[in-house]
Amino acid sequence: MVVLDNLIDEELILRLKKIGLNEYEARAYLSLVGLREATAREILEAGRIPQGRIYDVLKNLANKGYVEIQSGFPTYYRAVDPSDVIQNLDKEYTRMLRELEDTLKDRHIEAPPTYPVWIISNETAISNRVFALLKTVDKELIVFSNNPDYFRPFAEELRRMKKQCKLYIIVDDPKKFPFRGLEFRPANADILSFISDFDIDGVIYCNVFSMIVDGKESFDVMTINGKRIGMVTKLPIINYVLRRMLSHLHLLDDRNG
């Protein structure tokens, strides 16, 4: 009997199942990777696969590109190199995702204009919104922050962006932001009042991270009594006035507004 306990790793089986194999297919492929080349009997013994299922399992693996079959008496099976399998899967998933993206875009219907201000309350959605907005920047990005911990995940993307647009990063204290390759401009008293915490009728508002994209759209991340939200604002006039103020305070490199 060819049972080799070290061929079957339950964690690897779970990962293979996540990319589309069932339990027996995952066991058969792992066994064959270890055995390199084997008969159906050797594979079923190594992977503890029912005898009545082994040929269907191997046929499915061959159809999916995981296994090569060498006909003969007996028939031998060989595992396709894992790096080749992963590369093929990457291409296939990329193609499928692009097709899905195109299909979803085609389902867009004309609708009335959305509200110019809306709120996002999910932490992951807030972070995703920041990254998505960074990809839309054309000429200029203005960033405000007084929280280096929240700023940290976006530092690498901002380093790349400074090569393609005008990037201004205004913070309460540049010494708090130890991120190489980025220039941090200290906020003056007027701007500190904008990015500092404030209290309205007992409700504490804490600004964490803000950005203005091309003077048209802004996104503010803040906490309200400890609950984090993101606020999208598509009101160009507000962003225009704010940019003019920043220019007047010499925090931007021009006075064009």
Q: Please give the pLDDT value at position 195.
A: 65
Token pair of 121 as six digits: 């309350």
Tens of pLDDT along 149-183? Answer: 999 999 999 999 888 899 999 998 999 999 999 99
Q: Please give the pLDDT value at position 150.
A: 92
Do 150 and 230 meet the contact criterion of CB atoms below 8 Å apart? no
Q: Please give the pLDDT value at position 176.
A: 92
Q: Please give the pLDDT value at position 110.
A: 60
Q: Please give the pLDDT value at position 7.
A: 63
Sequence ranges of the domains in the chain: 5-85, 117-248
> Same topology for domains 5-85 and 117-248, yes or no?
no
Q: Please give the pLDDT value at position 200.
A: 81
pLDDT < 70 regions, the chain: 1-7, 108-114, 194-195, 248-249, 254-257
Q: Please give the pLDDT value at position 90.
A: 87
Q: Please give the pLDDT value at position 164.
A: 87
Q: Which residues have C-beta within 8 Å of that of residue 217, sequence separation ≥ 6? A: 133, 136, 232, 233, 234, 239
CATH: 3.30.870.10, 3.40.50.920, 3.40.50.970, 3.40.920.10. Which one for 117-248? 3.30.870.10
* 5-85 fold: Arc Repressor Mutant, subunit A (1.10.10)
Between the two ends of the chain, the Cα-to-Cα distance in Å is 79
Of the candidates 128, 122, 121, 113, which has an alpha carbon nearest to the alpha carbon of residue 235? 113
Token pair of 158 as six digits: 């901002």
